Structure 1
Amino acid sequence: PQGGYYCGVGSDEVFGRPIVEAHLDACMQAGLAIAGINGEVMPGQWEFQIGAIPAPAVADHLWVARWLLYRIGEQFNVSATLDPKPVRGDWNGAGAHTNFSTVTMRNDYDACVAAADALGAKADLHIANYGDRIEERLTGEHETLSYKEFRWGVSDRGASVRIPWQVARDRKGYIEDRRPNANCDPYVVTRLILDTVCSAATGS
């Protein structure tokens, strides 16, 4: 049933835009670091991006943005959900793809690769803390890799961790952990990423 919903336009493909734009306005008025919105693969599914700002502030901003989403939904008699698999069947789940970098990564591609490798070395720990019912979303289908596996790749949306193509080209930048669920605790996710990547980088 996949259609033209991702970044779609037109009333036959887009549902809920007034809610999303009201949420965007509320986040901006609240001074949150909201960076964008887009329609997602499933009809009525939307994404908003928070950042780029340091941890733990990024988790603070996401937490408040979620609260605002629920409150805005009340005004439209709609209940927003962070369910990782809101609709069963041939539909994408809902994730909290997490882009991050360190100062070293922003200047050295080898540090980006090392960060991806470090996440792989502690894959089980991260999966166990990346959101409830993660196995329903990370199935190996719908732009995911199975929660039982780990791999990273350049421009690979089916990997656990993606290195954007321009990062590989520029030999510096950031990486994206695609495993966290939409219902994850952002404080736990950011702490785990920092602990894993920085501990590996410093040998501690």
Structure 2
Amino acid sequence: MSYKAEYIWIDGTEPTARLRSKTKILADGAEPGDWGFDGSSTNQAPGDNSDCVLKPVFICPDPIRGGDAKLVLCEVFLVDGTPHPTNTRAKLRPVAERYAAQDSWYGIEQEYTFFKAGRPLGFPERGFPAPQGFYYCGVGADEVFGREIVERHLDACLEAGLKVSGINAEVMPGQWEFQIGPAGPLEVADHLWTARWLLYRIAEEYDVAATLDPKPVEGDWNGAGAHTNFSTKAMRESYDAIITACEALAAKAQDHVAAYGADIERRLTGMHETAPWSEFSYGVSNRGASVRIPWQVELEKKGYIEDRRPNANVDPYVVTRMITGTCCEALEKAGQV
């Protein structure tokens, strides 16, 4: 018998990369190996030198096809064996290894918005729905739109063995969130990219598109983020380490904002539970701050922080590399490891 392996990779589209995938038939018992693709069709190579290489890095069951089928997440390499310039996972690997002893944990809250026929799911053909207020974690056909897709996606993530930890309806109609983690920097990003692919693929069957646009509707509507929760062993034991991490993020605030997703200034306006993109702040239980310290962390004097700035369209390999590098370096220098 043979089985289907869906090779998934991240392309070179700018400013926001897209997912691509194709199917390979493998003999029963054969492990997915390297494969090639046409980089000139994915913004990763010129037509006269178009070969690129897929190297599997994360393999899990394919919950859509079932049986022995697999999903195969890959890094992209050049034919000379070096990582492709668009391969952001390769840039994360040495940072994750450098600070592995600090035992970083991440939980990423992936917000997204369903669109159908050119408008958010739940929006009327003309005009707008009722203002925000009842949609967040709502229940009922007048408040929640797309639940069948969301439930199928959650089941698929569980069947694939992804570290999904929850779902909820978000503030705008047709807007949802799933959470991945806790997990280390490479694992959380691998699982998030795979969960995104599953979301897009399942939504296809309903003629619905899931978008990571950080501000899908202009005006008095919430944007979509990827709030990133982070801790190290020291932070899980000491409030001083929490403050060190916050101050480190403050010192490199604009470097992080520049890496946290395209069009971030459209979302980080200082309204709709955001801090202005040009300013940095942190505070306890403050969802209007750049970084929130949860109330129970302040109470227990240990725990984690939530960086609220990353966009929904952020590359998780980039956000985990930035936070790991900034915070772990500062904690190491402070002797808080």
Could you say whether these structures have the same fold, taking a TM-score greater than 0.5 normalized by the shorter chain as the test?
yes
1:143-168 per-residue CA deviation (whole Å, 9 max, x = no partner) reads: 00100000000000000000000000
Residue 236 of structure 2 aligns to a residue whose secondary structure is coil
Greater fraction strand: 2
> Do structure 1's residue 201 and structure 2's residue 328 form an aligned pair?
no
Residue 188 of structure 2 aligns to a residue whose secondary structure is helix
Where does the alignment leave 5 or more consecutive residues of structure 1 unmatched? none
Amino acid at match of 2:203: G
> Do structure 1's residue 54 and structure 2's residue 198 form an aligned pair?
no
> Do structure 1's residue 189 and structure 2's residue 322 form an aligned pair?
no
TM-score when normalising by structure 1? 0.99
Partner residue of 2:268 out of 131, 138, 141: 138
Distance 1:3 1:175 in 2: 26
Distance 2:243 2:293 in 1: 8
1:55 Cα offset (Å): 1.2
Distance 1:3 1:105 in 2: 35
Where does the alignment leave 5 or more consecutive residues of structure 2 unmatched? 1-130
Ranges of 4+ aligned residues in structure 1 off by more than 3 Å = none
Distance 1:202 1:99 in 2: 20
Partner residue of 1:83 out of 189, 213, 217: 213
Distance 2:186 2:165 in 1: 17
| Residue correspondence of structure 1 range 1-204 to structure 2 within 5 A | 1-203=131-333
Amino acid at match of 2:259: N
Distance 1:31 1:76 in 2: 24
Pick the structure with greater CA Rg: 2
Amino acid at match of 1:159: A
Identity fraction in percent: 70
**Relative contact order (C-alpha < 8 Å, sep 6+): which is higher?**
1
Distance 2:185 2:325 in 1: 12
TM-score when normalising by structure 2? 0.60
1:203 Cα offset (Å): 2.0
Residue 2 of structure 1 aligns to a residue whose secondary structure is coil
Distance 1:113 1:20 in 2: 36
1:202 Cα offset (Å): 1.5
The number of residues matched between the two structures is 204
Distance 2:162 2:211 in 1: 20
Distance 1:99 1:92 in 2: 20
Q: Provide the alpha-carbon RMSD of the alignment.
A: 0.8
Greater fraction helix: 1
Distance 1:10 1:35 in 2: 23
1:56-90 per-residue CA deviation (whole Å, 9 max, x = no partner) reads: 10000000000000001101110000000001110
Residue 189 of structure 2 aligns to a residue whose secondary structure is helix
1:3 Cα offset (Å): 2.5
Distance 2:295 2:280 in 1: 19
Residue 93 of structure 1 aligns to a residue whose secondary structure is coil
1:95 Cα offset (Å): 0.2
